[in-house]
């Protein structure tokens, strides 16, 4: 007891020093966004894609800038300004190639050799109608470099692979400056660099916004509950310090914050608040009972410390279950969140405890003690569970059946646009390209020649043409390009540039004749589609965002068609690319989710058996903790919200936090039994002493996660709503069902 004042001082000084150190490194936190974070690891398709990229590069190294003109693009002044912008793009950093209708030209074979014709005669307005008619007849550039109504025109840039945030910012700044200089104000951008910039900016904004709003919310709720400003300031200071220490730890460990980062402040604030409330509630109740501060804090730590540690460990385990995911971003979130939970626990126990015993007793108690209404209402609830056990059990069974039905309705047909910030520039631009152009998602088809054939042989070219003809019939696919394209263009050039000749040469002899011209005039173009050894090639296209399940079926249909219609003795094909890998996530989400929760359940079960030394306690706790997860799943099913990688964290959060209430309830009940109380006496004590803390923490959890409604990120909004509602359901089950089960089975 005598050493407690010294320990108090050391604890406060130590945590303040750690807080200062954390504040000095927080600005080193790195925000990132990379589609590869969502690739399923240890997947054969990922292995194949990584080998494919070595020869052909990535499929998302593009940036499209569509510039609109209300009067149509075929206006001389507009075309001159757009062309100036296109020409300036050659000097942009990280750009490897640029294409637009004002810089491209048609090749034409004459008696003197090949010459070129401009696609658009910028200076000659009398040619505009003819130029547009030619573009329409060729169909090569419609919805690719110009929309079908000629109201917008595109500059397509190829960039270096895997641009990071800083490189993306540099390039986009140059693009916007050039657009402004050329008075091109109505534009839309699409591509990796633009997504990277927008998503990282959103992450930074979301972390700051959720921290501020959640902090204000926690402060107000604590003030209403304790009605003592010193107590509230102690709580808020402790919670804020735990968040600062957590962010500092992430910075020191060099962790990169991804799209899930907006949840960290909310999680730290509400988990820390839960720990603070249980400790503070117990401490204040004891000093109200006449104990001195040091005796009260020791008694509170002995009474609440163990159960709070247990709840922190189980919450951390809930997040650690995400390690079963094959997605790097989800695993990282699980590890970081688990660390955050434990940082909050240590901060609350050591720092909050030290602050509580540092405050004068009168300032801690506040103007009013715990309202008698709390005790009255909670005892009435206990009486209700005693008088209506059958009604509660039947209601629980009906609730479970309804949840199972809702879970059966869950789909994984996720659309990429659902992950974009609401009413943002990037969402508007994405929708513009979806409606007016071929789309954003890249489609890659790998071709491998067989039995001595090369992908540049006429026989293989004929088989490739069968596949591209099939792809062109699918509405959701556009901008199809293949190794045959240079041969088609040369064929057209040799036939007076007539659109009907934009086809593969009809004879092998003609094809071989054109090969020399292709190798001479279009070697670089062909190199995009054929590897150096000419045993592999690619077909690439753009996909509309029609949903994960729809696209997965499309990939299967493409491969099935190729196996049935093309000559598989000459070549084989395989759908690959970043888009396909992202769509494969749904195959693993359910499996890894169930596996992770099963492992977590086993671990928590072992812990609870060891702590309570009663397997019945573990079995009793199963129902009120499994049902909230079913409820969360049923919400997804009933609302038609597709399950995707980000939403999988819902179940880990619900599983980790919902079990906390159960542990506190069972811990208090078990303590009452060991003190010689009867079942009913132990339950009454549990309701009156722990029930209040459970209700308060759930209220804070509810409103804490509802803070996500202020997000501009739709998945975050969805997650916030589902978790908030589900945790309320978990509290109701704990307060209604647990007493019934304890009376019946203990």
Task: Please report, for the domain that includes residue 73, its CATH number.
Answer: 3.30.310
Q: What is the per-residue pLDDT for 469? A: 92
Rounded CA separation 583/184 (Å): 36
3-state secondary structure of 378: helix
Contact of 340 with 271, CB cutoff 8 Å? yes
3-state secondary structure of 153: strand
Q: How confident is the model at residue 368 (pLDDT cuts 50, 70, 90)?
A: very low
DSSP 424: -
pTM of this structure: 0.77
Highest averaged pLDDT of the listed ranges 161-165, 376-380, 710-714: 376-380
* 641 falls within a domain: yes
Rounded CA separation 321/452 (Å): 49
**528-574: pLDDT as tens digits:** 899 989 999 999 998 888 888 888 889 999 999 999 999 999 999 99
Specify whether 166 is located in the same domain as 267: no
Report the mean per-residue pLDDT for the chain.
84
Residue with tokens 């034409």: 108
Specify whether 647 is located in the same domain as 569: no
Tokens of 185: 């104000």
DSSP 73: S
Specify whether 129 is located in the same domain as 265: no
* 220 falls within a domain: no
Specify whether 619 is located in the same domain as 731: yes
The residue among 698 and 463 whose pLDDT is bigger is: 463
Is the confidence at residue 608, as pLDDT, over 80? no
Highest averaged pLDDT of the listed ranges 101-110, 284-293, 574-583: 101-110
Specify whether 612 is located in the same domain as 577: no
Helices (H), 139-191: 165-181
3-state secondary structure of 495: coil
State the residue range of the domain holding 497.
Answer: 429-583
Specify whether 575 is located in the same domain as 622: no
Specify whether 231 is located in the same domain as 263: yes
CA distances from 561 to 264, 485, 558 (A): 46, 21, 5
Q: What is the per-residue pLDDT for 458? A: 94
Domain closes at, from 305, 339, 361: 361
Q: Return all residues near 20 (Cβ < 8 A) that are at least 6 apart.
A: none
* 213 falls within a domain: no
* 686 falls within a domain: yes
Which residues does residue 332 pair with via DSSP β-bridges, in sequence order? none
Q: What is the per-residue pLDDT for 369? A: 46
Is the confidence at residue 42, as pLDDT, over 50? yes
Contact of 533 with 564, CB cutoff 8 Å? no
Which CATH number do you get for residue 279? 1.20.1640.10
Residue with tokens 């955050």: 340
Contact of 326 with 249, CB cutoff 8 Å? no
Q: How confident is the model at residue 660 (pLDDT cuts 50, 70, 90)?
A: confident
* 234 falls within a domain: yes
Is the confidence at residue 590, as pLDDT, over 70? no
Report the percent of the chain where pLDDT is more than 70.
92
Q: Which is nearest to 693 in space by CA: 216, 214, 222?
A: 222
Q: What is the per-residue pLDDT for 367? A: 42
Specify whether 463 is located in the same domain as 573: yes
Q: What is the per-residue pLDDT for 40? A: 65
Contact of 653 with 321, CB cutoff 8 Å? no
* 418 falls within a domain: no
* 327 falls within a domain: yes
Specify whether 649 is located in the same domain as 698: yes
pLDDT average, residue stretch 277-299: 80
62-68 vs 187-191, strand pairing mode: antiparallel
Q: What is the per-residue pLDDT for 646? A: 67
Domain closes at, from 583, 618, 641: 583
Specify whether 352 is located in the same domain as 386: no
Rounded CA separation 580/443 (Å): 8
* 170 falls within a domain: yes
Q: Return the C-alpha torsion angle 489, 494, 496, 498, nearest 10.
A: -40
Helix axes 615-639, 714-745, angle to 10 degrees: 150
Q: Give the N- to C-terminal CA distance of the chain in Å, as an integer.
A: 38
pLDDT average, residue stretch 81-87: 95
Specify whether 448 is located in the same domain as 567: yes
pLDDT average, residue stretch 400-414: 85
Q: Which helix (H) or strand (E) segment is 212 a member of?
A: helix 192-226
pLDDT average, residue stretch 577-604: 69
Q: How confident is the model at residue 100 (pLDDT cuts 50, 70, 90)?
A: very high
Highest averaged pLDDT of the listed ranges 231-245, 324-338, 596-610: 231-245
The residue among 663 and 104 whose pLDDT is bigger is: 104
Q: Which helix (H) or strand (E) segment is 485 a member of?
A: helix 485-493
Rounded CA separation 486/692 (Å): 74
Overall number of domains in the chain: 4
Q: What is the per-residue pLDDT for 352? A: 85
Specify whether 543 is located in the same domain as 436: yes
Report the percent of the chain where pLDDT is more than 90.
28
Domain closes at, from 548, 583, 618: 583
Q: Return all residues near 386 (Cβ < 8 A) that are at least 6 apart.
A: 680, 739, 743
Rounded CA separation 617/620 (Å): 5
């Amino acid at each position: 007891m005598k050493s407690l004042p010294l320990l108090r001082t050391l604890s406060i000084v130590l945590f303040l020093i750690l807080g200062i150190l954390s504040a000095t490194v927080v600005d080193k936190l790195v925000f990132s966004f990379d589609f590869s974070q969502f690739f399923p690891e240890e997947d054969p398709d990922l292995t194949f894609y990584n080998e494919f990229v070595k020869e052909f590069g990535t499929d998302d190294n593009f940036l499209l800038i569509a510039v609109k003109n209300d009067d149509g693009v075929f206006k001389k002044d507009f075309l001159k300004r757009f062309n100036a912008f296109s020409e300036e793009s050659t000097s942009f950093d990280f750009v490897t190639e640029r294409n637009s209708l004002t810089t491209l030209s048609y090749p034409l074979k004459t008696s003197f050799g090949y010459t070129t014709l401009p696609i658009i005669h910028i200076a000659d307005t009398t040619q505009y109608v003819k130029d547009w008619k030619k573009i329409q007849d060729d169909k090569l550039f419609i919805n690719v470099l110009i929309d079908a109504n000629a109201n917008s025109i595109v500059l397509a840039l190829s960039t270096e692979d895997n641009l990071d945030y800083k490189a993306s910012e540099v390039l986009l700044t140059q693009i916007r400056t050039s657009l402004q200089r050329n008075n091109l104000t109505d534009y839309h951008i699409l591509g990796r660099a633009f997504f990277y910039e927008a998503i990282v900016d959103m992450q930074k904004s979301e972390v700051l916004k959720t921290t501020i709003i959640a902090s204000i919310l926690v402060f107000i709720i604590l003030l209403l509950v304790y009605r003592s400003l010193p107590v509230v300031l102690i709580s808020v200071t402790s919670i804020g310090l735990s968040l600062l220490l957590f962010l500092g730890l992430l910075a020191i460990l060099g962790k990169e914050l991804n799209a899930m980062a907006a949840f960290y402040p909310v999680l730290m604030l509400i988990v820390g608040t839960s720990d603070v409330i249980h400790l503070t509630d117990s401490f204040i109740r004891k000093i109200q009972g006449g104990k001195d501060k040091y005796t009260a804090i020791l008694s509170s730590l002995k009474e609440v410390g163990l159960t709070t540690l247990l709840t922190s460990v189980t919450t951390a385990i809930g997040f650690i279950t995400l390690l079963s995911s094959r997605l790097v971003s989800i695993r990282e979130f699980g590890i970081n969140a688990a660390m955050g939970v434990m940082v909050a626990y240590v901060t609350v126990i050591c720092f909050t405890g030290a602050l509580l015993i540092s405050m004068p007793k009168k300032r801690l108690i506040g103007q009013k003690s715990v309202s008698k209404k709390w005790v009255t209402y909670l005892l009435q609830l206990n009486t209700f569970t005693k008088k209506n056990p059958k009604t509660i059990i039947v209601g629980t069974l009906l609730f479970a059946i309804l949840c199972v039905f809702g879970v059966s309705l869950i789909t994984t047909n996720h659309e990429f646009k659902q992950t974009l910030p609401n009413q943002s520039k990037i969402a508007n631009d994405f929708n513009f390209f979806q409606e007016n152009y071929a789309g954003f998602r890249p489609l890659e088809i790998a071709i491998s020649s067989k039995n001595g054939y090369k992908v540049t042989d006429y026989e293989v070219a004929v088989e490739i043409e069968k596949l591209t003809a099939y792809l062109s019939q699918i509405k959701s696919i556009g901008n199809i390009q293949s190794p045959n394209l240079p041969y088609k263009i040369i064929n057209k050039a040799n036939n007076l540039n007539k659109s009907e000749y934009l086809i593969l040469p009809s004879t092998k002899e003609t094809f071989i004749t054109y090969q020399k011209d292709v190798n001479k005039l279009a070697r670089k173009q062909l190199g995009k589609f054929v590897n150096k050894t000419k045993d592999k090639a690619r077909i690439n296209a753009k996909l509309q965002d029609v949903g994960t399940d729809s696209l997965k079926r499309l990939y299967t249909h493409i491969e099935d068609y190729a196996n049935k219609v093309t000559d598989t003795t000459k070549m084989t094909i395989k759908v690959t690319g970043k888009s396909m890998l992202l769509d494969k996530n749904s195959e693993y989400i359910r499996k890894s989710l169930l596996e992770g929760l099963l492992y977590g359940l086993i671990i928590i079960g072992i812990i609870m058996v060891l702590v309570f030394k009663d397997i019945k306690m573990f079995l009793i706790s199963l129902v009120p903790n499994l049902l909230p997860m079913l409820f969360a799943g049923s919400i997804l099913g009933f609302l038609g919200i597709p399950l995707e990688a980000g939403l999988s964290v819902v179940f880990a959060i619900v599983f980790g936090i919902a079990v906390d209430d159960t542990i506190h309830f069972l811990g208090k009940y078990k303590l009452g039994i060991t003190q010689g109380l009867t079942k009913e006496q132990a339950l009454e004590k549990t309701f009156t002493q722990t029930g209040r803390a459970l209700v308060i923490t759930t209220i804070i959890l509810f409103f804490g996660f509802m803070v996500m409604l202020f997000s501009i990120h739709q998945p975050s909004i969805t997650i916030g709503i589902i978790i908030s509602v589900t945790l309320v359901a978990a509290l109701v089950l704990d307060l209604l069902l647990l007493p019934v089960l304890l009376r019946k089975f203990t």
